[in-house]
Amino acid sequence: MTYRLVVNGEPAEVGVPGMRRLLDVLREDLGLTGTKEGCGEGECGACTVLVDGEVVVSCLVPVCQVDGSVVRTVEGLAVAGGSALAPLQAAFLEAGGAQCGICTPGMLMAADAFLAAGAEPTDDAIRGAIAGNLCRCTGYTKIVDAIRLAAERRQAGAGAA
């Protein structure tokens, strides 16, 4: 079967079995290896991407269910044609929100959805937004700091504009 999706703003067409995991379609068929596989069972959140703006674990979504959908992955975050880090990514660097990095693409996508929702960046709200993303390295505090920093800058930017 042929499935059509829009990935990071670009139309993509893949001829693959419908039960292929979106994770495999992204990594193997489209060569977008930024999305990581941790557990393959929905538990760790490393494979988190956005489908039509909502966070999902791409290891549990078959491609037949995203035919016609808009998918956003970590490769879609960078700005200026991919040459500059998004403010969210810069905040992770600045706050030390990544160590080994395996959880980072999924954390960034969960954080991206949180920023887009425009909720008040309290500790509770941020921790709730990344509750489905496991990190073995950072102890989460610096990830929460990074997301708060990005959210505050975004609010300040919106206020100034």
Partner 1 sequence: MHVEPPVGSPRSLEEAYGLLASAPHRPLAGGTDMLVQLTGELGPAPERVLDLWRLDELRGIRVEGGALEVGALTTHAQIRRSEACAAHAPTLVAAVATIGAAQIQNRGTIGGNVMNASPAGDTLPVLLALDAVLVAGGPRGERSIPAVGFWPAYRSTALAPDELLLRVRIPIVDGRRQAFRKVGTRRAQAISKVVLAAAWRRDPAWRDVRIAFGSVAATPIRATAAEAALEGAPPTAASIDRAVAALLAELRPIDDVRSTAAYRLEVSGRILRRLLEDAS
Ligand X SMILES: Cc1cc2nc3c(=O)[nH]c(=O)nc-3n(C[C@H](O)[C@H](O)[C@H](O)COP(=O)(O)OP(=O)(O)OC[C@H]3O[C@@H](n4cnc5c(N)ncnc54)[C@H](O)[C@@H]3O)c2cc1C
Q: Which does 61 bind (CB under 5 to 8 A by kind): partner 1, ligand X, ligand FES, none?
A: partner 1
What is d(CA 2, CA 16) in angstroms, rounded to the nearest whole number?
Answer: 7
Tokens representing residue 99 in the block? 């160590």
Q: Is 43 in the site for ligand X (CB under 6 A)?
A: yes
Name the minimum Å distance from CB 19 to ligand X: 12
CB–CB of 95/134 below 8 Å?
A: no
Q: Is 143 in the site for partner 1 (CB under 8 A)?
A: no
Q: Is 18 in the site for ligand X (CB under 6 A)?
A: no
Residue where the block lists tokens 């557990």: 39
Q: Which of 64, 99, 113, 125 binds ligand FES (CB under 6 A)?
A: 99
Closest among 35, 65, 71, 67 to 53, alpha carbons compared = 71
Q: Which does 54 bind (CB under 5 to 8 A by kind): partner 1, ligand FES, ligand X, none?
A: partner 1
CB–CB of 34/46 below 8 Å?
A: no
CB–CB of 14/29 below 8 Å?
A: yes
Span 61-90, contacts to ligand FES by CB under 6 A: none
Give the C-alpha distances (Å, rounded to integers) separating 33 from 51, 77, 87, 124, 146.
17, 14, 21, 31, 23
Span 2-41, contacts to ligand FES by CB under 6 A: 37-40
Closest among 61, 75, 69 to 30, alpha carbons compared = 75
Name the minimum Å distance from CB 29 to ligand FES: 17
Cα-atom radius of gyration of the chain, to the nearest Å?
Answer: 16
Name the minimum Å distance from CB 56 to ligand X: 11
Q: Which residue, 70 or 113, is less far from partner 1 as judged by CB?
A: 113
Contacts with ligand X, residue ranges (CB under 6 A): 42-43
State the residues that interact with partner 1 by CB under 8 A. 17-21, 24, 40-43, 45, 48, 54-57, 59-62, 64-65, 67, 110, 113, 129, 131-133
